Copies of this chain bind each other. A is one copy, B any other.
Amino acid sequence: MIFDPRPIGVFDSGIGGLTVLRELLLAFPYETFIYLGDTARLPYGSKSGNTVRKYSEQNLKFLLSRNVKAIVVACNTASTQINEDFYEGLPVYNVIDPGSHLAALTTKNNNVGILATRATVKANSYEQKIKMQNPLINVFSVPCPLFVSLAEEGWHDDVITEQVAERYLSDLKNKNIDTVVLACTHYPLLKKPIQKVLGPSVNLIDSGVAISLILKIDFEKEKVKRTDQKNAPDQLLICLTDTGLQFENLSTQLLADHTKSKIIFETVSVI
């Protein structure tokens, strides 16, 4: 077996992708990760497709320059623009294919809800990809733009967040859905109020879990080679395009339970 000690690159506009990184750290504790948060230009969810594509390509290029072995686009809005399998020969994973796949496998009654940013809903990628898996599945998409700010404000298990969820999801509750994709990487932070509003029988699909399952398969197929490390890496590098203690504190808080590595922050330019 051939090993590959190079890191896996992960990017998002800001903190959302950390929910993906958390799941990756749990699933692959011996792998090294480099995270890029494009905090100087966040959020992506309210911007146009062209702008998001331009930003995402700059992020890919940056991670390529850091000698990664694969790249995870840990942002749904960016994933609507980057759906290549390879970039300059490197495997690239978006979060939409795994999420769609897992949703299609999970639903029993063929009614699936998609909660996402306005840009992701507009791009319509989830509906297309779920219907490619099974054209009989009904897909109901709901833009929930305030969820991002509520997640960033730290109001994760909160009565106000619950009321916002109640308003956004009231129509969806009448559609007899049994599976809902949290199709923005911020939204897993609001799992509790979302689950409370939708009821305990609805399955919530988390992009981080879905991408970890796919990556596990690709490690087995050796599409991406494992590291031969026997211990968790010493460092977890988080690169940010803007400075700011708030993001550093949030990252440390979100990742502390999921990694033994020392978290190192670096301010970078991707332009």
Contacts and interface: CB of A to CB of B under 8 A. Distances in A.
Contacts of A246: 46, 118
Nearest to A50: B243
27 contacts: A39-B47, A40-B41, A40-B47, A40-B51, A41-B41, A42-B46, A46-B152, A46-B244, A47-B242, A47-B244, A48-B242, A48-B244, A50-B243, A51-B242, A145-B149, A145-B152, A145-B153, A146-B146, A146-B149, A146-B150, A148-B149, A149-B149, A160-B160, A160-B163, A160-B164, A160-B167, A163-B163
Contacts of A152: 46, 145
Contacts of A243: 48, 50-51
Contacts of A148: 149
A36 to B, nearest CB: 16
Contacts of A41: 40-41
Contacts of A39: 47
Copies in the complex: 2
Measured as residues with beta carbon below 8 angstroms from the partner, the interface class of chain A is 20 to 34
Contacts of A242: 47-48, 51
Contacts of A244: 46-48
A37 to B, nearest CB: 12
Interface string A40-71: 11100011101100000000000000000000
Contacts of A160: 160, 163-164, 167
A271 to B, nearest CB: 8
Interface of A: 39-42, 46-48, 50-51, 118, 145-146, 148-150, 152-153, 160, 163-164, 167, 242-244, 246
A95 B153 CA distance: 26
Contacts of A118: 246
Contacts of A163: 160, 163
A258 B221 CA distance: 63
Given A40-B51, A42-B46, A47-B244, 15 more contacts: A39-B47, A40-B47, A46-B244, A47-B242, A48-B242, A50-B243, A51-B242, A51-B243, A145-B149, A146-B146, A146-B149, A146-B150, A160-B160, A160-B167, A163-B163
